[in-house]
């Protein structure tokens, strides 16, 4: 959990939790954007047990 918070602070440029709460903006991503953000042209040889797409 702490690593995710730190990463979020780095993405938003926040120096502390108060700045993160006040300045962070969430962006909604549609299905087309989600599909485009995944790697392209990769052949999967074995399905991962913890991730399905």
4-42 pLDDT per residue, tens: 999 989 988 999 999 999 988 888 889 998 888 888 788
Question: Would you state the pLDDT for residue 45?
Answer: 81
Question: Would you state the pLDDT for residue 53?
Answer: 62
Whether the model pTM is above 0.75 = no
In eight-state DSSP terms, residue 38 is: S
Q: Does the pLDDT at position 2 exceed 70?
A: yes
Q: Which two tokens stand for residue 39?
A: 């790697």
């Amino acid at each position: 959990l702490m690593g995710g918070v730190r990463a979020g602070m780095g993405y938003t440029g926040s120096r502390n939790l108060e700045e993160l709460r006040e300045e962070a903006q969430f962006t909604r991503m549609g299905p087309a954007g989600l599909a485009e953000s995944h790697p392209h042209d990769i052949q999967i040889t074995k399905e991962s047990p913890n991730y399905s797409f």
